[in-house]
Structure 1
């Protein structure tokens, strides 16, 4: 029996070596030029998983922060992907919505899909305009009742929201979802503004209870009071943790540490960094260059 132990050890080491070789080969193939896209990001899009910098840490990971466009009309009520898009992705969307159909819809298995991320483009400008309009409305209300402390606070909060949107919020927004990479790239050809990434799409359902507008007690059965909304949401596990190569760790020496407890953003007058992030053949990102600019990145 003792003679078998070295064989097991050798076999185990060989398996580890094979797995590592496959991983390295996959990374190398992903980074073969040309890159599918390359975006110039800042800390608005790259958040730390813990702190920006610790001298006793041998590794540093950042997450790619993106967001979905706001739904000004609230028609989807929190559903990021419309029912029409879900059908295009291969989900079975019932023509007649009932509790049974809704139950079948939400039980469908998740599907792989592609998300298009837009950097500092029309989607971001729309977000700014929505918040600016809300701020203007809050100021008008405040002016109509100058002594109202509640309206003063509302106007101040709206102003803070506008400042956050313009200076701190991620400039990276999801603008499309699909399954055909070539079709999406043809639709969004600018590789310095649009990145295509892999995601997992899940069928989601929300509901809205309609108010009774008639007289007396609502006579409608519960099934007629609820409107079901079908759609979906998506996640991108591959963007949750991007390891920063060690050669750029020292770049973060000049950056203040992020308060892990409060989760506050860095003050606007603190040094910021820029990072050129490329997306390769497998649509997986990696850092091309990282630096702390002498001028602020807005």
Structure 2
């Protein structure tokens, strides 16, 4: 049989159909019951993923906002990336040296990025710790300022502490990375509450740095599925009319965000999707 353009076209169309069928089957399996976890979030954890917006694209993509322990609101500094301990990096399969020197650190740092699992805690003890630390810092700055009321540096520190606590109370994400590993069953045994803890796929990278003249090692991780979560068409009209957070007197840039409530479900492939979506209300200001 002679291969011609008609055969090539048929083969190409068949491949497209097969790939789409596999993708749809994966989505269906991910969303089959029982789900792995369910989180009730707000605009603090779920926001518009603007980099994916185009004029010729009618879809709406949302971004899952998560944080690291002891991080400040909207902290994207270099230091904030070094959040995984050597033990956690070993748990996801990295070879962690027992002794740290130039050679062992070089080998550790050269390891390729790899996939693993991250545990996200929603509105739990880690968030309460962040609130407490922010409140304590405000109290300290208030006491310092009372002793030297005209000190410009203390005035600025007190202002920043007030703004940090206000953000923690009203707008900062309450979703924190709490643990890492490679075995879902083991992680679920440690974190069984499926309305408080979600397990997601992460992409891990090895880090090493000098601290006080000594090598330190650890790692960082990202959550690829957090970058773009599709909002189904049936809620686009709701999204377009979301109310905005009002400005708080005395706090610059405290308002403007679209207010929403959503239920996120994480399926068998640990990928999230939106099952409920509605307009939110502004929380009471402190």
TM-score higher than 0.5: yes
Aligned residues: 270
Higher Cα radius of gyration: 1
Asked whether the 8 Å contact 1:121–1:193 carries over to 2, the reply is: yes
The answer to whether the Cα contact below 8 Å between 2:244 and 2:255 also exists between their aligned partners in 1 is no
Distance 2:236 2:30 in 1: 23
Q: Distance in 2 between matches of 1:17 and 1:80?
A: 42
State the alpha-carbon separation in 2 of the partners of residues 19 and 265 from structure 1.
46
Q: Report the 3-state secondary structure (helix = DSSP H, G, I; strand = E; otherwise coil) of the residue aligned with 2:198.
A: strand
> Could you say what secondary structure the match of 2:137 adopts?
helix
- Assess if the C-alpha contact under 8 Å between 1:51 and 1:257 holds in 2: no
For residues 52 and 42 of structure 2, the distance between their equivalents in structure 1, rounded to whole angstroms, comes to 13
2:185 pairs with 172, 176, 182, which one?
182
Distance 1:157 1:81 in 2: 28
Query: Does 1:69 pair with 2:69?
Result: yes
Q: 1:14 Cα deviation (Å)?
A: 1.1
2:87 alignment counterpart: 84
Helix, strand or coil: the match of 2:200? Answer: strand
- Does structure 2 retain, via aligned residues, the 8 Å contact 1:42–1:297? no
Q: How does 1:231-242 map to 2 (within 5 A)?
A: 231-242=218-229
Change (3 A) 1:112 1:5: same
The answer to whether the Cα contact below 8 Å between 2:91 and 2:180 also exists between their aligned partners in 1 is no
1:284 to 271, 276, 282: 271
Tell me, which stretches of 5 or more residues in structure 2 are unaligned? Answer: 73-78, 246-251
Q: 1:228 Cα deviation (Å)? A: 0.7
> 2:91 & 2:55 partners in 1: Cα distance?
49
CA distance in 2, matches of 1:284, 1:179: 16
Cα distance between partner residues in 1 of 2:19 and 2:55: 31
1:38 aligned partner: 38
CA contact 1:271–1:296 (8 Å) conserved in 2: no
Note the C-alpha offset of 1:92: 1.5
Cα distance in 1 for residues equivalent to 2:20 and 2:133: 48
Task: Verify: 1:113 aligned to 2:116, yes or no.
Answer: yes
The Cα shift of 1:272 comes to 1.4
Residues 100-130 of structure 1 show CA distances to partners (whole Å, capped at 9, x for unaligned) of 1110110112222111101100000011111
**Cα separation, partners in 2 of 1:272 and 1:266, compared to 1, 3 Å:** farther
* Superposed CA RMSD: 2.6
Provide the secondary structure at the position in 2 that maps to 1:69.
Answer: coil
Query: 1:83·1:230 contact (CA, 8 Å) conserved in 2?
Result: yes
Query: 1:233-290: CA deviations, max 9, x gaps?
Result: 11111211011111110011222689xxxxx97717x761101000000001011010
The question of 1:101 aligning with 2:87 is answered no
TM-score (norm 2): 0.87
Distance of 2:126 and 2:233 partners within structure 1:
34
The partner residue of 1:296 within 271, 276, 282 is 282
Q: Does the CA-based 8 Å contact 1:61-1:242 persist in structure 2?
A: yes
- How far 1:51 sits from its partner (Å)? 8.7
Q: Distance in 2 between matches of 1:22 and 1:56?
A: 27
- Contact kept in structure 2, 1:207 and 1:228, CA below 8 Å: yes
Separation in 2 of the partners of 1:284 and 1:125? Answer: 27
Secondary structure at the aligned position of 1:234 is classed as: strand
- Give 2:155's match in structure 1, choosing from 143, 148, 152: 152
TM-score (norm 1): 0.84
Question: Does 2:194 align with 1:203?
Answer: no
Map of 2:233 onto structure 1 = 246
Tell me, which stretches of 5 or more residues in structure 1 are unaligned?
Answer: 211-225, 259-263
Q: Which residue matches 1:267?
A: 255
